[in-house]
Amino acid sequence: MDARSGKEIYAQNADTRLHPASLTKMMTLYLAFTAIERGQVRLDTKFLVSQHAAGQQPSRLGLKAGQRIELRYLIRAAAVKSANDAATTIGEGLGGGSEAVFARQMTAMARNLGMNNSNFRNANGLTAEGHYSTARDMSTLGRRLFYDFPQYYSIFSRRSADAGIANVTSTNRRFLDEYEGADGIKTGYTRAAGFNLTASAKRGNKRIIATVLGGQSTAHRTQVMKQLLDTGFGKAPTRVKEVKPEPPQYMVQRDIKRTIQVARAEPTQAAPEPFKISTSARPAARASAASVVSPGAIVAAVRGANTEAQSNAAAAALDASARPQRRPGSTSSAVIATKSSPVEDVDLAETAPVPANTGTLSSSARPARKAKRGGDEVSSLDIGNPSLIPASAAGAAAPGAIFVQTNQPQPETLQLAAHSPARREDTIILASMSPEMEAGDAMEATEVVSRISSGGGKAYGVSLGMYRSQSEAEQLLLRTSLQENAALGTALRRVGNTKRGFEATFTGMNKASARLACDRLLARQQACTVVGP
């Protein structure tokens, strides 16, 4: 395919499901890069090697059970040497200790990227029942690695690398040396799969990505790949509009102990129906001045209304405690509303609804006692089939109240005090945190991937990424500074002209303010990284 547009140039049996072998590690590394960029882990986070990971078949780095090794070395070993023990350690570390959980995350991400004929059972690609992919899906994944993580893509062109406990050499070095413009990506081989290769090459302003599955030998695989790339460079137009793939969408589910961000595997749900507001009948016209009600009648009417409201509230079991009686003379009525509680939207994802909260707010001077929550929102680690726990049934409203309702099923009942509590902070991560991370690591917003040339205590900044034109970068900086003026403060806007594009950066910040600003931007679904000296 033409990597610039994603347009297919040539295909043969492109959707045939076959064993991908070590091409699987492309998805393992894609999720590892995602975890780093989302702030879940860092390159220097140490992963624990399990007995299962240490016992994987060759190719191996030589990891020992109980050993701890930095993620940067595991990535190098998996990408360059295609080490199975390193890939499994990555999968277990990001899957909360379970490679099966991580495999479900891989499959869910594949669906999210449009790889509809791929299914993963492990992180390294060793032959397993139900573990398959296609040539088209692997080319799609290769293109996503290039566009989604350009800062890490160079790992696939290395001929050798330091993997911590050993220096490793590339399994793809022969093809990289023989074909002009080749700069990746990944080889694979098992007896069941044959000789596989996903490759990328650039000549001039053209970039071609191709995949060969089921080659008869290394030489045969290389020969077919050269023919495919030559055909691609010959047929691809010199000038073509670059169409970058859309960022992957995510869904967020909450847990009492942690917040987990997972790839959305379910279809987009239909938008909820608009709110329908029903009100009481229009009040009768005001009585004339001649028909004045006596003070005694007003007191009696208020007492009667309070008595009726208390009786109905008790019958509906709206609150665990008795509703306090209204003070005589109070004329305001209770307002009972049912509203949907929106899920944090990450990367503009449309997500499954979470149970709504139903609140009762009394207008009395003394706030009513908070009711005990009937349930908590629970997250599922099985991201292949995410589910939500239904909330408790809602209570009934007092007569004369105003109802605002949605079509959300089974709303949760919650009585609110006169002053709402502060909103709880939510940390968004990709998967459960590995136990070997230090306590402070979880708060790191992003991994530093570039530098700025500021001096003194304000040598930090926030990078919003690379863009194709200086105008696009400048517009984003201006728009962001207006939206987050409080967090960015007096930070300076700077557009850097690099080989990879125009980098939009806020500079002249200290470390704490840069992290705070980046956290605020991430909450707005704006990708960013903290940069420093």
Enzyme catalytic residues: 22, 25, 82
Tokens representing 211 are: 């995949």
d(CA 476, CA 406): 36
Candidates 16, 24, 13; CA nearest to 127 is 24
Rounded distance between C-alpha atoms, residue 74 and residue 87, angstroms: 7
Q: Which residues contact 120 (CB under 8 A, 6 or more apart)?
A: 24, 27, 103, 106, 107, 110, 131, 133
Inter-axis angle of helices 24-38 and 84-94, to 10 degrees? 40
Alpha carbons 99 and 210: distance in angstroms, whole number: 29
**Block residue for tokens 């679904």:** 525
Residue 202 and residue 182 in contact, taking contact as beta carbons nearer than 8 Å: no
How many angstroms separate the CA atoms of 467 and 346, rounded?
21
Specify the pairing of strand 357-361 against strand 412-415.
Answer: parallel
- Extract the tokens encoding 110: 């594949």
By DSSP bridging, strand 492-498 and strand 501-509 are antiparallel
Q: How far apart are CA 334 and CA 243, in angstroms?
A: 54
What's the rounded Cα separation, in Å, for the pair 112 and 264? 6
| Cβ–Cβ under 8 Å, residues 287 and 134 | no
Give me 452's structure tokens.
């700025």
Cis bond upstream, residue 75 (ω within 30): no
Distance, in Å, from the CA atom of 119 to the CA atom of 130, rounded to the nearest integer, reads: 7
